[in-house]
Structure 1
Amino acid sequence: MTSFQHMNVAQLHERLNEESLVIVDIRDPNTFAQGRVTKSQHLTNDNLADFLREADLDAPTVVVCYHGNSSQQAADFLASQDFTEVYSLDGGFTQWQLVYPEHVEK
């Protein structure tokens, strides 16, 4: 059974202004610096422990990668750490950038 859910870019766009929404981007630092979904924070192996310690486990959390593949493993991992509402962004940042270029932070 999968412990995370899928979210498409339109669903994320609808929920972008939710105060409690957490967006984590697991792409490499250079790519993250060049552009990311508005409000997203960079999640790396280096800051994972801090993130887990400080995170609100009940906040809806969306994992973003390049194309929506590796985010599934990361979302599954977060769900295994007792996060209650975890999503993998289908299509990843690549899809987001195509559909919502106005919501790309640099």
Structure 2
Amino acid sequence: MLGVIAVVVIAYFVITMLRLRKAVSNLTQEQFIEGYRKAQLIDVREPKEFEAGHILGARNIPYSQFRQRYKEIRPDKPVYLYDQNTGKSSRSALFLKKKDYTQLYQLQGGFRTWTGKVKSK
């Protein structure tokens, strides 16, 4: 029985990883910097995290509000997503992919690895 549960869990993670690979491209910080000025830069962390420090030029659409506010993001322009790690930005990308967004990118390693310009309040 335990073996069956382990197989199901592993299968779930493999399927999720394959879906993610199709939905979103992971970019290094250098690649992210090259393209984000021509894209929509979206920080999906919660407002307190965003206000404590965010990538210069980013808009805050918290993951907790993403399903209600995703239409603020244009589907015809590239979308650069990030959060603290990559969990919420990955889930946001999967959601946008289902809504027919095609140019989806996320910061590899998330904001915790960012060493570029930061704005804070």
The reply to whether TM is greater than 0.5 is: yes
Where does residue 62 of structure 1 map in the other structure? 80
Which residue of 55, 80, 90 corresponds with 1:37? 55
Q: How many equivalent residue pairs?
A: 99
TM-score of the superposed pair, with normalisation by structure 2: 0.72
What is the alpha-carbon distance in structure 1 between the residues aligned to residue 87 and residue 68 of structure 2? 22
**1:28 has 2:46 as partner:** yes
Give 1:36 shift: 0.5
1:30-57 Cα shifts (integer Å, max 9, x gaps): 11001111111111233643441x4320
Distance change in 2, residues 1:83/1:15 (3 Å): same
Unaligned 5+ runs, structure 1: none
Where does residue 96 of structure 2 map in the other structure? 78
Stretches (4+) displaced over 2 A = 44-51
Distance change in 2, residues 1:94/1:6 (3 Å): same
Give 1:81 shift: 1.0
Larger Rg: 2
TM-score of the superposed pair, with normalisation by structure 1: 0.81
Where does residue 92 of structure 1 map in the other structure? 110
Q: Give the aligned residue type for 1:104.
A: V
What is the alpha-carbon distance in structure 2 between the residues aligned to residue 65 and residue 11 of structure 1? 17
Structure 1 or 2: larger helix share? Answer: 2
Cα RMSD between the aligned structures?
1.7
**1:49 has 2:63 as partner:** no
